[in-house]
């Protein structure tokens, strides 16, 4: 039998195919590499050279073009080669360790601390092959491994070594080791090489060695074509310093073909960028998508590469732009192809920065737009939520520019008051259709663009941009800011520096735009302004005090050259000051290519306003006068905030609650006027800021007198550790001049170093200001600290809700904003996970890679369903979080638990959809939907604009639901699904919003009312229920807590708007401060529309008494008259509207006071007071309040849809006429006053 078996074996060997016999005897090698996974072509070609002796299998780590090693038994191979690069490798440590016990493992390259069984030091040629990765060297590496490590009898070629740092040009025969040799060679090709601006290109040598440098070659040739001198520098790794190759020579611009300068150490990357002295302009290749797939993509870099952008910003790298994509040849070879239009745009922007670097200051032309979103004279300057004094900042900037040799004209720089007056009266936009005002602007020096000129420029735009603009705004020139065949741009000229009123977004000026669900394209004046900068003014820099350019259509991150946002910014260098609490200007950085420069508004502890101080004084008395305290609390209007009636609640509840509220109000953060760029706070404000910073993590605030003494030189005023901190903080604040220094550096084409983005009260390391702020790596959200805080907040919210309503919530709605998440690290996302009953799963690098289900028993309660709404900016830049939340919802929906409301609702919704004829697979997907935002490219609910036009709550709600009713998450990108949104709204019991910056509250702008109030409004109108609303208060980093909306609102009202200290700070800001006073009533009005039970008559009366009757004797009448009379007119008009709508049940004296026209008026755009009165007076008066109290709103009789009806406007300079009822009411009021001898001062 043995002989027969041997014979059969011999015969089988003779008849088996030779390839199978060779496979049985060849050695097997596994090669694991993220580098090869991205570009496997030359490695595979080299493997074929040795396939007679060995079989090589290539693996990646997930992603790329190779299979992952996950689940592969590496121990079955004769040798495992591992590329050490990539932190993801650490995720496979256990798998690698298991392989090391059974086979040989050799680690090549640098990176992670993974080690093998073969000592690389004993095989130095391995590193030479790997580091010089050509096809020949890959072949040599495989031969070396087979011969030296596996004992195979194959020849081993020597490695071919290339310089680690060199200059390379596709038309040169070899790389250049010295810059002088390269410049001499280029001079032979380009006779004017010596005078051309030098544009560096920093890229990895591996691209050339792999014959895959098409993108770099395209950049080089395009720079030459556009008149530049390319300086292409290859490097082997991040530690190869281009600056060392340049020697004493300087670049005028730098294109960085990488995400980072130094992948191992961001600080080293910053140091190298500083040595090079110019902004590193990103040039990226999409390794995963073809050119066609990239063009079709909505996100650009987002969401897959958003985390990489965050890391690049750590080094101050700017202008993320894709210029290449993956190309697959017919034979399967993979390479990178240049995107020609992207290359042209990348080079054009680099050449513009190079021009800034070279051009004498006196020749530079700078355009400085400012905020004027409400046409008219009341609201000109900066974005209200920036807390910047734009007029003061511009005056300071003009002064500095003159000192730096810029042409700002021959006249003296105007003082702030004069500049404010000129910007308001001659430099402001006008209401659409006001031809008289437009002609006046032209006479005052506005820029005019003849229609013929505009049409010539317009014809150069991409077809899609023109089609979108005309579909929304009609044929040129449109209606906005046009008269007599001209497009008008209000402006003030100071030599070659031009101040301009930034064009309005447009949504507030057109009925169709306001009603639209999708992205809003630029209107004709918007296009004309940006084209004028490029083609008319030939500006060298765009330096906005305000812009909403990031809201224009285009890819979410890293625009395409034919996107609207790209067409508008063109090649202009964009330099933008932004407050440190503004999420690092992430939208401006990643969508509009801005170099952002952080500044810090002055924010202090508020102290107590007179009403609260009176309560504190009474509480400090002995014995306590309980009735006097009750009366004082009632007059202060804080009963809602305390959740009891001060007149009747037990004293044992009142006293501790009052004491706590007073402590909170005294410590509440309060901005002190508007910040002037480059201006350090005065000593008094510095002491108050330092005090707030010392208490910023929840610690006890030191005595202000002690801080003041310390900063004046008394070293014993504070304990040593605190004294050291205080002096450090004061020194950082004193470096505010860096803010303008950074602007000047950027205007010179220089590098602006990065710094942390955060409110400096929460994170003092955000100071000094004047750096390019960076935000968090989105992949690390929620951070472990945020998870702990958010989980506690969720538990506290459930407990509060149960205490207030007697039962836990079934479903909680959330509002997610990008600025909030960037400040708090993801506490809102953590709350969502905790309510659902899942926990984040972090990898070894601290990145959240998944969620895990918490067992029901461990959770200790039923799970709570969620509805998530987001801002458009959150959707754009935190898209991976939406996918993670969607996965959590799906995971929980699958959990078979008897009290799982998420599963129950999902199953019920599936059944309803199936009954409606929806296919089963579609029904299952739609039933899981709980994440909603505006349509792709669209931003804002827009209810803030509609409310100014007098829309009824019913119409506001239809608008809100239409705008927000687009589903997102886990592969869903904005599909309109009003059915799913409505189904979610109908089950909501509570809603949560977060505030995580000391700068912002609920009344700074109308946006909290638009989002959080919008949720409450939508639920109320659908169900008749007034849901509980909460704020996750993270203004103090170490004291994060859940509060009722009414408590947060009341404390902000008392600590800011009814606080004479806040008012005095705003008075010191002049015109700008008056704007903030007037904006208060705009926010109150939208809260009235969306959450009518929040704002009370007492609130309106307090505003009247403080701002119109000057309760605190601050000289407000004179202040408004001198600083900004239009702001007072706006404030009065808003108060009149509140009365006319029935939001405020004002007494006869107040009605008389508001209706007599004693206020010097200016146009109040968007406030159709009398028109609204005619629609809402009489039987309709008070309807918003009444409907809120009654529950379900009565059906609206307004016209369906979102049509704006033009209404007549009545100047606030004249008394309201034409109403006999109003006249008799006024006369009756006057008679009562005369008979009773009452004054118009407040009665408390």
CA pseudo-torsion sign 400, 404, 405, 406: negative
CA pseudo-torsion sign 969, 972, 976, 979: negative
pLDDT digits (tens, 9 = 90+) for 264-319: 899 999 999 999 999 999 999 998 899 999 999 999 999 989 999 999 999 999 99
Mean pLDDT of 156-160: 97
Checking if the pLDDT of 1215 tops 90, the result is no
Picking from 913, 931, 920, 937, the residue whose alpha carbon sits closest to that of residue 967 is 931
Q: What is the pLDDT of residue 1178?
A: 35
Q: Which of 250-259, 1022-1031, 1050-1059, 1220-1229 has the lowest mean pLDDT?
A: 1220-1229
pLDDT digits (tens, 9 = 90+) for 214-257: 999 999 999 999 999 999 999 998 777 889 999 889 999 999 99
Q: What is the pLDDT of residue 1204?
A: 34
Q: Which two tokens stand for residue 1127?
A: 């702001």
Q: Which two tokens stand for residue 724?
A: 């050291």
Residue 299 vs residues 144, 557, 591, 904: alpha-carbon distances, Å: 44, 6, 11, 34
- CA dist 1096 and 228 (Å) reads 65
Q: Which of 71-80, 594-603, 1184-1193, 1228-1237 has the lowest mean pLDDT?
A: 1228-1237
Mean pLDDT of 468-475: 97
> Domain segments of the chain: what residues?
15-149, 165-357, 364-599, 611-666, 681-734, 785-1057, 1074-1082+1097-1244
- 15-149: what CATH class? alpha beta
Say yes or no: do domains 15-149 and 165-357 share a fold.
yes
Checking if the pLDDT of 1192 tops 50, the result is no
Mean pLDDT taken over the chain: 90
Q: Which two tokens stand for residue 4?
A: 């027969």
Mean pLDDT of 463-477: 97
Report which secondary-structure segment, H or E, holds 327.
Answer: strand 322-328
Q: How confident is the model at residue 1184 (pLDDT cuts 50, 70, 90)?
A: low
Q: What is the pLDDT of residue 1188?
A: 55
Looking at the DSSP bridge assignments, the partners of residue 1157 are none
**Share of residues in the chain with pLDDT > 70 (%):** 91
- CA dist 523 and 465 (Å) reads 10
Helix boundaries (H) for 16-64: 18-25, 34-38, 41-49
Q: What is the pLDDT of residue 685?
A: 98
Helix (H, G, I), strand (E, B) or coil at 428: coil
- CA dist 902 and 894 (Å) reads 9
pLDDT digits (tens, 9 = 90+) for 605-645: 999 999 999 999 999 999 999 999 999 999 999 998 998 89
Q: What is the pLDDT of residue 844?
A: 83
Checking if the pLDDT of 1186 tops 70, the result is no
Q: CATH 3.40.50.2300: does it fit domain 165-357?
A: yes
Checking if the pLDDT of 1235 tops 60, the result is no
Full-model pTM: 0.90
Report which secondary-structure segment, H or E, holds 167.
Answer: strand 165-167
Q: What is the pLDDT of residue 577?
A: 98
> Cα 424 to the chain's mean position, in Å?
29
Q: Which two tokens stand for residue 416?
A: 């702030």
Q: How confident is the model at residue 1229 (pLDDT cuts 50, 70, 90)?
A: very low
Residue 72 vs residues 58, 64, 75, 98: alpha-carbon distances, Å: 11, 17, 9, 11
Checking if the pLDDT of 421 tops 50, the result is yes
Q: How confident is the model at residue 88 (pLDDT cuts 50, 70, 90)?
A: confident
Q: How confident is the model at residue 584 (pLDDT cuts 50, 70, 90)?
A: low
pLDDT digits (tens, 9 = 90+) for 755-772: 999 889 989 999 999 999
Mean pLDDT of 884-910: 97
Q: What is the pLDDT of residue 1185?
A: 64
Helix (H, G, I), strand (E, B) or coil at 681: coil
* CB-CB contact of 348 with 571 (8 Å): yes
- CA dist 357 and 20 (Å) reads 66
């Amino acid at each position: 039998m043995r002989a027969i078996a041997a014979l059969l074996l011999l015969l089988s060997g003779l008849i088996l195919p030779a390839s199978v016999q060779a496979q049985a005897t060849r050695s097997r090698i596994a090669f694991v590499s993220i580098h090869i996974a991205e570009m496997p072509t030359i490695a595979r070609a080299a493997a074929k050279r040795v396939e007679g002796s060995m079989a090589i299998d290539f693996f990646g780590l997930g992603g790329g073009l190779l299979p992952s090693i996950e689940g592969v038994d590496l121990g079955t191979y004769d040798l495992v080669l591992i590329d050490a690069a990539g932190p993801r490798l650490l995720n496979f440590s256990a798998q690698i360790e298991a392989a090391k016990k059974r086979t040989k493992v050799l680690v090549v390259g640098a990176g992670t601390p993974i080690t093998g069984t073969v000592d690389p030091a004993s095989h130095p040629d391995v590193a030479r092959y790997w580091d010089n990765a050509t096809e020949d060297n890959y072949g040599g590496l495989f031969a070396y491994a087979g011969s030296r490590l596996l004992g195979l009898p194959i020849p081993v070629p020597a490695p071919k070594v290339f310089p680690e740092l060199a200059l390379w040009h596709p038309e040169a025969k070899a790389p250049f080791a010295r810059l002088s040799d390269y410049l001499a060679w280029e001079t032979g090709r380009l006779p004017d090489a010596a005078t051309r601006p030098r544009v560096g290109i920093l890229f990895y040598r591996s691209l050339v060695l792999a014959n895959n440098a098409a993108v770099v070659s395209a950049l080089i040739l395009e720079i030459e074509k556009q008149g530049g001198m390319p300086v292409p520098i290859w490097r082997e790794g991040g530690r190869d310093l281009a600056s060392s190759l340049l020697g004493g020579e300087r670049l005028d611009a730098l294109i960085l073909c990488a995400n980072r300068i130094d992948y191992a150490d961001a600080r080293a990357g910053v140091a190298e960028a500083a040595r090079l002295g110019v902004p590193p302009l990103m040039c990226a290749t999409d390794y995963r998508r073809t050119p066609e797939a990239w063009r079709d993509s909505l996100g650009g870099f987002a969401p897959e590469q958003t985390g990489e952008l965050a890391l690049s910003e750590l080094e101050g790298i700017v202008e993320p732009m894709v210029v290449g994509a993956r190309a697959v040849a017919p034979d399967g070879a993979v390479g990178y192809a240049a995107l020609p239009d992207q290359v042209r745009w990348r080079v054009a922007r680099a050449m513009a920065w190079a021009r800034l670097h070279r051009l004498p200051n006196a020749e530079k032309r700078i355009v400085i737009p400012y905020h004027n979103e409400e046409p008219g004279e009341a609201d000109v300057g900066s974005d209200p939520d920036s807390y910047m004094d734009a007029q003061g900042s511009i005056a300071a900037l003009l002064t500095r520019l003159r000192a730096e040799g810029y042409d700002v004209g021959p006249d003296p720089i105007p003082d702030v008051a004069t500049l404010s007056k000129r910007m308001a009266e001659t430099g402001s936009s006008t209401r659409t259709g006001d031809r008289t005002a437009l002609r006046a602007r032209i006479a005052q020096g506005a820029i005019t663009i003849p229609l013929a000129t505009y049409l010539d420029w317009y014809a150069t735009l991409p077809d899609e941009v023109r089609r979108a603009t005309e579909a929304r705004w009609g044929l040129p020139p449109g209606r906005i800011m046009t008269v007599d065949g001209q497009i008008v741009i209000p402006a003030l000229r100071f030599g070659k520096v031009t101040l301009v009123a930034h064009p309005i977004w447009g949504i507030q000026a057109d009925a169709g735009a306001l009603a639209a669900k999708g992205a809003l394209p630029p209107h004709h004046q918007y296009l004309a302004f940006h084209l004028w900068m490029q083609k008319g003014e030939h500006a060298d820099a765009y330096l906005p005090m305000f812009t909403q350019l990031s809201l224009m259509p285009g890819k979410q991150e890293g625009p395409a050259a034919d996107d609207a946002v790209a067409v508008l910014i063109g090649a202009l260098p964009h330099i933008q000051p932004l407050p440190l609490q503004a999420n690092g200007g992430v939208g401006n950085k990643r969508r509009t290519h801005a170099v952002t420069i952080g500044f810090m508004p002055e924010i202090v502890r508020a102290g107590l306003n007179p009403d609260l101080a009176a309560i504190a004084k009474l509480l400090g008395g002995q014995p306590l006068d309980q009735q006097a305290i009750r009366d004082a609390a009632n007059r202060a209007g804080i009963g809602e905030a305390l959740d009891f009636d001060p007149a009747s609640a037990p004293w044992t509840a009142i006293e501790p609650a009052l004491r706590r509220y007073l402590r909170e109000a005294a410590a509440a953060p309060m901005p002190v006027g508007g910040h002037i760029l480059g201006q350090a706070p005065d000593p008094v404000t510095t002491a108050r800021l330092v005090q707030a910073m010392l208490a910023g993590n929840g610690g006890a605030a030191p005595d202000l007198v002690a801080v003041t003494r310390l900063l004046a030189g008394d070293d014993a005023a504070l304990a040593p550790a605190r004294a050291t901190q205080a002096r450090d903080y004061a020194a950082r604040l004193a470096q505010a001049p860096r803010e303008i220094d950074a602007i000047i550096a950027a205007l010179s084409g220089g590098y602006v170093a990065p710094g942390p983005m955060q409110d400096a009260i929460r994170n003092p390391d955000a100071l000094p200001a004047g750096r390019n702020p960076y935000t968090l790596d989105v992949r690390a959200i929620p951070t472990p600290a945020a998870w702990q805080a958010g989980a506690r907040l969720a538990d506290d919210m459930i407990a509060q809700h149960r205490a207030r309503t007697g039962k836990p919530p079934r479903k909680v709605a959330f509002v997610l904003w990008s600025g909030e998440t960037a400040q708090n690290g993801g506490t809102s996302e953590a709350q969502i996970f905790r309510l659902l009953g899942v926990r984040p799963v972090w990898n070894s690098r601290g990145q959240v890679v998944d969620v895990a289900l918490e067992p029901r028993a461990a959770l200790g309660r039923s799970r709570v369903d969620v509805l998530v709404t987001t801002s458009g900016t959150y959707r754009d830049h935190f898209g991976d979080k939406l996918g993670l939340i969607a996965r959590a919802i799906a995971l929980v929906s699958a959990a078979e638990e008897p009290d799982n409301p998420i599963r129950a609702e999902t199953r019920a919704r599936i059944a309803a959809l199936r009954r409606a004829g929806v296919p089963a697979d579609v029904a299952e997907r739609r039933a899981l939907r709980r994440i909603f935002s505006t349509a792709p490219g669209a931003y804002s609910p827009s209810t803030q604009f509609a409310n100014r036009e007098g829309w009824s709550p019913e119409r506001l709600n239809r608008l809100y639901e239409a705008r927000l009713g687009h589903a997102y998450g886990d592969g869903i990108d904005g599909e309109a699904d009003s059915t799913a949104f409505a189904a979610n709204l109908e089950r909501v019991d509570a809603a949560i919003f977060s505030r995580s910056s000391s700068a912002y509250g609920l009344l700074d702008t109308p946006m909290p009312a638009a989002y959080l109030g919008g949720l409450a409004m939508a639920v109320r109108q659908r169900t008749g229920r007034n849901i509980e609303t909460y704020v996750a208060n993270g203004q103090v980093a170490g004291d994060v807590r859940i509060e009722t909306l009414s408590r947060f609102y009341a404390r902000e009202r008392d600590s800011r708007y009814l606080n004479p200290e806040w008012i005095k700070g705003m008075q010191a800001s002049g015109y700008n401060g008056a704007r903030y006073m007037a904006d208060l009533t705009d926010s109150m009005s939208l809260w009235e529309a969306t959450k009518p039970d929040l704002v009370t008559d007492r609130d309106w009366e307090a505003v009247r008494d403080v701002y119109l009757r000057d309760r605190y004797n601050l000289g407000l009448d004179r202040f408004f008259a001198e600083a900004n009379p239009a702001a007072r007119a706006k404030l009065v008009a808003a108060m009149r509207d509140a009365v006319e709508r029935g939001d405020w049940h004002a007494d006869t004296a107040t009605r008389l006071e508001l209706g007599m026209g004693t206020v010097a008026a200016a146009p109040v755009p968007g406030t159709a007071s009398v028109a609204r009165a005619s629609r809402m007076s009489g039987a309709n008066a008070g309807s918003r309040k009444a409907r809120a109290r009654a529950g379900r709103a009565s059906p609206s009789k307004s016209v369906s849809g979102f049509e704006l009806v033009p209404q007549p406007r009545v100047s606030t300079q004249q008394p309201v006429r034409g109403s006999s009822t109003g006249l008799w009411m006024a006369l009756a009021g006057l008679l009562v006053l005369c008979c009773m001898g009452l004054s118009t001062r407040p009665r408390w």
